[in-house]
Amino acid sequence: MTDPPLPSGDQPLLRPHVFDGIQEYDQRLPNWWLMTFYIAIAWFVLYWTLYYQGGFFTSDSDRVTAQLQAIHQAKTKELEKLLSTLDNDVLWAWSEDPNIRREGQAIYSRICAACHAPDLSAKLAGAPLPGLPLNDEDWKYGSQPLDIFHMVSKGSPDKTAPVQMPPWESVLSPAEIAKVSAFVLSHHVHRPPPPAQP
Amino acid sequence: MNAAPHQITIEFDDRTVRRFLIASVIWGFVGMLVGLIAATQLSFWQANGLKWIEALTFGSVKIPADGISFLSFGRLRPLHTNAVIFAFVGNMIFAGIYYSTQRLCKTRTASDLLSAIHFWGWQLIIVAAAITLPLGFTRGKEYAELIWPINLAVALIWVVFGANFFWTLKRRHEPNLYVALWFYIATIITVAMLYIVNHLSIPTSFTHSYPLFGGVQDALVQWWYGHNAVAFFLTTPILGIMYYFLPKAAGRPVYSYRLSIIHFWSLVFIYIWAGPHHLLNTSLPRWLQMLGMLFSLMLWAPSWGGMLNGLLTLRGAWDKLRTDPVIKFYVAAITFYGMATFEGPLLSIRAVNALSHYTDWTIAHVHAGTLGWNGFMAAGMFYWLVPRLWNTKLHSVALANMHFWIGLTGILLYVASLWASGITQGLMLNALNPDGTLPKYEFIETLERIKPLMLARTFGGSLYLLGYLLMMFNLWRTIRSGTPSPETRLVTVDAASPHDRMSWRELFTNEPVLYFSLGLLLCLLWFFLPNYANLGALVGGFIVIIKGVTAFQSHPHRWAVWHDKLLQNYLPFTVLAFIAVALGGLIQIIPTTLANRAESIHGRLQSLYTPLELAGRDLYVSEGCYNCHSQQIRMLVPDVLRYGRPGIPDDYSHLGESLYDHPYQWGSKRTGPDLAREGSKRDALWHLLHMKDPRSTSPGSNMPAYPWLFDRSTDIDSLPARIAAQRRIGVPWPALTSDAIKDQARSQAIAISQVLHTQGRSIPPDREVVALIAYLTKLGAYQEVGLPSPPPPSPLRQPSLQPDLPDTHRPTLGANP
């Protein structure tokens, strides 16, 4: 069999065969196109080798766990810092501060109102919502300001109870939790008198 | 037999083509209309039923129900995807294949009977799908939702199609296979392989089954199928159609035959490997993620090879772009193909995917492909074919041009708004507060932000559908003006033609195949051999490649002659193509099914469901919750912070946590938040209120209400059969009698109902919502299981035969108790 002619230079070669009227040129492959192909293949080899041979990369689970541990430590530090200045009296005082109350209310309406109702009654149009009422005398998990702070932060202490409040520390920062607690305290039935002015 | 060449007259079977074409046009309208409704539901939850009538009539008409089961998004979205893929594009490619194959083979389709069975069988399947999907009968895997009896019908009809096609090839009077036929061949064999493997299931009743694979295996098989459904159902047949109809319409030769060869073989070989790019940053083993990403990058050039061969064919015919709507549609379609196949590799880069995955960016990408590439190729083909099939002229060129411009505006608006939506939502979901300890935005806030973009998307989609309606009108008027007339042609029959005589030896013992096989073998050794031995394999691979290139350069004609000869032998060609497409799947899936499961659970083993929880899970699947909710916390800080539990640094989803999930429900889109840890987050009462009225517990939510779950009774009676099926596929259910299963389910339901009663809500225990609550409050439960040591970063650890765990946790598939 004779060698089929190959294209040379810029002369497009028309193949002899015709399929239902369709003909085919036999142009050279565009160089830039070939280069993208070669580079992608070379990148495969390089990346795979670096990853499995080079030891430059940590595994995904190690990386993300380390990052999250750092975040966890930062959060714990932040919480400790806040708690070192925060006690029941401070939170009572915050509950009197209109600015803090306003900020707390904004968080409350965004996050808490769905279960505790906008008016803290845990009732919407007479029907009970999942949350407990926050405007009555009954405080199931403690009525002191820091009890409320920890309740918001960690959620229901009884993890086997059929109805539970979720922990909000993964959504709110410690300062935000303190503010929303102050807002709840501003509706506390047994509000102690504000601390005596020095 | 007649040895001398002689001429015969053949009559093409164009009736089948006309049938498929009309079916495609009609189903396309249905599929897109359902898509438009589903898109509207994302903006207006009221559209999940008839509640919107209240708004439109300013409250004068009262609609009692908040939602209607068969109109809810979770059931309509599968209907939309299945309709446009299998009904619209399916019928369109059948029309194109039946038309072009007869002409390229110079013979009539082998069997009119098989063609008729194929056509009517396929339409019956579509009708069955359109009935079962809204009723909630589903397998719960994307684009593979149809229930098992319909699966069997699809497989059967596909075999009928394949038999008819290959029989036609066998009877061809044209020795050489044109490039369009290569793509058809690859389509038929690959779709059969993908479809069968991904639909392996154990039936539990006539309408329900569990997939054979579970957890990560199911995820891997699903995306091997899902990604390659795009490749071999929405791409390769359309490329084949492009190779036939574009040069016909343009009257120009195809740009480059050698480009056809290179991009065909590289496309079909590489495409198959890219499936895992749908599972990036998840708990899928890293080596599979690497293969998915790197093969996707390598896929860019082969895809663009097709685009180049299409666009450059038009060199010298660009003037037709002004006058001929067919060329307009083709050029736009091929351009969208180029854009989508550039975007695909981009989205497969793990860092980009961390932003784009689970957002509307993916949806934008798919629709650039389907509306742009498939939809416009279909339109071009219809406008070209209908006048020829009905022997007349197109009713109105102006109307076709108008369709083009309206449709193009529609797609651009659609795609651009979803890009913006996806990037916006991705950035917001990944944003952390200033000190980097908490997610910055709540999920609802991101939904709020993309609302205008969702509306723009629906508007873009409406424009596209409007253009489509113009086409339907135009085609209808064209058909009315003509009459279907058979096309006959004089062809030469040469019994002495040397085609279809290649021996198996000739097929495999030649330079191209040998060099390629050896190179590939060494590459595989490079993947899997232990450290340093693998480097040896890599070096060996290099040497083989260099030798191969040298051999090719010293006598290129020998390689060309061999390939030309291969193209005269349809069966050897098919065998080689099958080997090329089968390899990727084999290498990715088999190690994962063989690998020691106990070792690959990463320290956490899923807690078994109770019977009632299983019933609830089946409801979750049947309502299509996976269309909007993922169950996979990726190994990314924002994901773990948002969806993990506070204080647990490694609270991403571990492989073992979904080990017993048949089907897996990792999801692919987060229209709502991830649910992997839902069980530890909210209680029964919250879920009860949320299912009744999602906006009562989550103001601003766009989730549909599920009132029917409060009326219907849970199907407890079928649980024993379901649990028996699960035991058969390896879920270690304890041995329970039927009565014990039903009793357990009932008593758990009563317990939930009692708790709700103490909360002031009465719900009878037999209601579906109780079972669903049982499942939702269980989601994410697992036991800690000690691992001897963290696995080293190696592509594949040697699967040991002795599991580390006592086998009560998990009997292996083979060892049947």
Rounded CA-CA distance A134/A147 in Å is 13
> Which H or E run contains B209?
strand B209-211
Of residues B106, B297, B312, nearest to A40 (C-beta): B297
C-alpha distances (whole Å) from B249 to each of A50, A191, B405 are 49, 85, 20
- What mean pLDDT comes out for the span B72-83? 96
Rounded CA-CA distance B810/B217 in Å is 15
Interface test with B, best of A22, A56, A169 (most B CBs within 10 A): A22
Q: Is the pLDDT of residue B341 over 70?
A: yes
Rounded CA-CA distance B621/B144 in Å is 13
Round the CA-based radius of gyration of chain A to a whole number and report it: 34
Please report the DSSP string for B573-640 in residue order.
HHHHHHHHHHHHHHHHHHHHHHS-TTGGGTTEEEPPPPHHHHHHHHHHHHTTGGGT------SSHHHH
Q: Do A25 and B298 touch (CB under 8 A)?
A: no
Residue predicted with more confidence, B541 or B435: B541
Would you state the pLDDT for residue B247?
A: 96
Would you state the pLDDT for residue B639?
A: 94
The alpha-carbon gap from B58 to the nearest alpha carbon of chain A, in Å, equals: 23
Would you state the pLDDT for residue B800?
A: 35
Which residues on A lie below 8 Å from B300 (Cβ)?
36, 40
Rounded CA-CA distance B357/B636 in Å is 12
Rounded CA-CA distance A64/A106 in Å is 32
Which of A122-131, B463-472, B589-598 comes out lowest in average pLDDT? Answer: B589-598
Residue predicted with more confidence, A87 or B305: B305
Q: Determine what percent of chain B is predicted with pLDDT higher than 70.
A: 95
Q: Do B650 and A64 touch (CB under 8 A)?
A: yes
B437 touches chain A (CB under 8 A): yes
Which residues on B lie below 8 Å from A14 (Cβ)?
253
Which residues on B lie below 8 Å from A19 (Cβ)?
104, 174, 176, 178
Would you state the pLDDT for residue B794?
A: 46
| Three-class DSSP category at B137 | coil
| Number of Cα atoms under 13 Å in the Cβ half of residue B698 | 22
The alpha-carbon gap from B35 to the nearest alpha carbon of chain A, in Å, equals: 32
- For chain B, positions 466-525, list CB contacts with chain A under 8 A: none
Q: Do A74 and B437 touch (CB under 8 A)?
A: yes
- What mean pLDDT comes out for the span B676-699? 89
The burial class, CB within 10 Å (0-12 / 13-18 / 19+), for B737 is exposed
The alpha-carbon gap from A193 to the nearest alpha carbon of chain B, in Å, equals: 34
Q: Three-state secondary structure along B475-510?
A: HHHHHHHCCCCCCEEEEEECCCCCCCCCCHHHHHCC
Q: For chain A, give every domain's residue range.
A: 1-48, 85-185
Round the CA-based radius of gyration of chain B to a whole number and report it: 28
Q: For chain B, give every domain's residue range.
A: 6-485, 504-594, 599-784
- What mean pLDDT comes out for the span A143-154? 87
What are the structure tokens assigned to B409, written together?
């505006």
The alpha-carbon gap from A198 to the nearest alpha carbon of chain B, in Å, equals: 36
Of residues A26, A59, A67, nearest to B637 (C-beta): A67
B330 touches chain A (CB under 8 A): no
Q: Do B636 and A26 touch (CB under 8 A)?
A: no
Would you state the pLDDT for residue B602?
A: 76
Q: Do B683 and A162 touch (CB under 8 A)?
A: yes
Which of A162-171, A173-182, B108-117 comes out lowest in average pLDDT? Answer: A162-171
A115 touches A130 (CB < 8 A): yes
Would you state the pLDDT for residue A90?
A: 85
Q: Is the pLDDT of residue B813 over 50?
A: no
B460 touches B412 (CB < 8 A): yes
A44 touches A57 (CB < 8 A): no
Chains A & B: contacts with CB separation below 8 Å: 194
B16 touches B91 (CB < 8 A): no
Rounded CA-CA distance A65/A85 in Å is 31
What are the structure tokens assigned to B248, written together?
């016909």
Which residues on B lie below 8 Å from A173 (Cβ)?
433, 435, 437-438
Residue pLDDT, tens place only, A58-102: 888 889 999 999 998 888 888 888 888 888 888 888 888 888 889
- What mean pLDDT comes out for the span B516-522? 91
CA-based nearest residue in chain A for residue B350 = A60
Q: Is the pLDDT of residue B795 over 50?
A: no
Rounded CA-CA distance B158/B166 in Å is 12
Of residues B255, B259, B640, nearest to A64 (C-beta): B640
Q: Do A173 and B438 touch (CB under 8 A)?
A: yes
- What mean pLDDT comes out for the span B207-235? 93
> Which H or E run contains B491?
strand B488-493
CA-based nearest residue in chain A for residue B528 = A52
What CATH number was assigned to the domain covering residues B599-784? 1.10.760.10
A19 beta partners:
A22
Q: Is the pLDDT of residue A193 over 80?
A: no
Would you state the pLDDT for residue A197?
A: 46
| Three-class DSSP category at B514 | helix
The confidence band for B792, taking pLDDT boundaries of 50, 70 and 90, is very low
- What mean pLDDT comes out for the span B753-771? 92
Which residues on A lie below 8 Å from B793 (Cβ)?
51-52, 57, 59
Which of B50-64, B144-158, B429-443, B534-548 comes out lowest in average pLDDT? Answer: B50-64
Establish whether the linkage from the previous residue to B811 is cis, with ω within 30° of 0: no
Interface test with B, best of A37, A45, A67, A158 (most B CBs within 10 A): A37
Would you state the pLDDT for residue B596?
A: 53
Phi/psi for B796 (5° steps) reads -150, 120
Which residues on A lie below 8 Å from B633 (Cβ)?
none
Please tell me what DSSP assigns to residue B733: P
Q: What is the mean pLDDT of chain B?
A: 91
How far apart are the two ends of chain A, measured CA to CA in Å?
Answer: 111
Would you state the pLDDT for residue B91?
A: 98
B281 touches B636 (CB < 8 A): yes
B795 touches chain A (CB under 8 A): yes
| Three-class DSSP category at A25 | strand
Would you state the pLDDT for residue B591?
A: 76
Residue predicted with more confidence, B608 or A126: B608
The alpha-carbon gap from B251 to the nearest alpha carbon of chain A, in Å, equals: 8
B722 touches B208 (CB < 8 A): yes
Query: Which residues neighbour A90 within 8 Å (Cβ) at sequence distance 6 or greater?
Result: none
Assign domain A85-185 one CATH number from 1.10.760.10, 3.40.50.970, 3.40.50.300, 1.10.287.1080: 1.10.760.10
- What mean pLDDT comes out for the span B547-563? 92
| Three-class DSSP category at B201 | strand
Would you state the pLDDT for residue B432?
A: 92
Of residues B257, B295, B527, nearest to A26 (C-beta): B257
Would you state the pLDDT for residue B249?
A: 94
CATH architecture, domain B6-485: Up-down Bundle (1.20)
pTM attached to this predicted model: 0.91
Query: Which residues neighbour B127 within 8 Å (Cβ) at sequence distance 6 or greater?
Result: none
Q: Is the pLDDT of residue B106 over 90?
A: yes
* Among the listed residues B153, B157, B158, B136, the one whose alpha carbon sits nearest the alpha carbon of residue B145: B136
Q: Is the pLDDT of residue B726 over 60?
A: yes
Would you state the pLDDT for residue B93?
A: 97
Maximal C-alpha separation, chain B: 93
B492 beta partners:
B7
